[in-house]
């Protein structure tokens, strides 16, 4: 079970946009009492993939978009991992899985979750939303919290945030899929938060 993974952000530095890496640490410490010293069997090569279908729910209402269409190459080139995006229609964000909040950025726009089956998942609301420094974002959870699929994570002032950033397209990325596995979705499909059956991993 990995204890460190990364979220890639754009950070304003004067007049320049600087792409920074914010290291989201402490996963092992936050979860040690829950899992003990033994690695979860679901972290084996086929475990997380087999279990995604039964427990993964749409974290937002909106349109499913292929990750390659996200206007940030860090996501579109799958540098952090495979996944998909949602073009949301409101600011209600729920947990896609049962798991533990591995990290919550101070700006509240990105949440990292380690699912009970071992998958590491990042939900990153919008593009360049780090620049808002938390304005328009309310966290309904904190780091270390256990969450259930469908549990509210964030409340976003959707109209305000949408007016201030280039895009509210929200990537959902799996950072530790086994090598060779691919996320399959139907580009353009409309989903409601809490909906299942829209994603497969092969």
Q: Which residues pair with 11 in a beta bridge?
A: 18
The two beta strands, 5-13 and 16-24, are antiparallel
Which of 171, 159, 150, 152 minimizes the C-alpha distance to 68? 171
Q: What is the pTM of this model?
A: 0.77
Which pLDDT belongs to residue 10?
Answer: 40
For the chain, what percent of residues have pLDDT higher than 70? 73
Q: Which pLDDT value is given to residue 44?
A: 35
**Candidates 2.70.70.10, 3.30.230.10, 3.30.70.1060, 3.90.1640.10; CATH matching 5-201:** 2.70.70.10
- Clarify whether 186 is annotated catalytic: no
Q: Give 18-46 pLDDT, tens digit per residue.
A: 333 334 433 333 333 333 333 333 333 33
pLDDT at position 68: 97
Per-residue model confidence (pLDDT) at position 41: 38
Give the pLDDT score at 49: 40
Asked if 105 and 115 count as a contact pair (C-beta separation under 8 A), the reply is no
All residue ranges of the chain with pLDDT < 50 are 1-54
Position 137 scores a pLDDT of: 99
Domain ranges of the chain: 5-201
Q: What is the pLDDT of residue 26?
A: 37
Selected catalytic residue, list 92, 109, 124, 186 = 124
């Amino acid at each position: 079970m990995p204890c460190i993974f990364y979220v890639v952000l754009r950070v304003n530095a004067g007049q320049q946009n600087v792409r920074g890496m914010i290291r989201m640490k402490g996963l092992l410490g936050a979860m040690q009492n829950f899992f003990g010293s033994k690695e979860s069997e679901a972290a084996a090569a086929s475990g997380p993939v087999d279990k995604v279908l039964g427990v993964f729910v749409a974290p937002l209402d909106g349109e499913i978009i292929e990750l390659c269409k996200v206007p940030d190459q860090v996501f579109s080139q799958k540098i952090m991992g495979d996944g998909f995006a949602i073009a949301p229609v409101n600011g209600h964000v729920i947990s896609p899985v049962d798991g533990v909040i591995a990290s919550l950025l101070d700006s509240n726009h990105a949440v990292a979750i380690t699912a009970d089956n071992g998958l590491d998942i990042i939900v990153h609301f919008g593009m360049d939303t780090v620049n808002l420094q938390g304005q328009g974002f309310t966290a309904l959870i904190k780091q270390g919290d256990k969450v259930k699929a469908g549990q509210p994570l964030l409340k976003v002032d959707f109209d305000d945030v949408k007016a201030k950033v280039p895009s509210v397209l929200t990537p959902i990325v799996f950072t530790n899929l086994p090598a060779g596995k691919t996320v399959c979705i139907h580009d353009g499909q409309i989903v409601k938060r809490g909906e299942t059956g829209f994603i497969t991993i092969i």
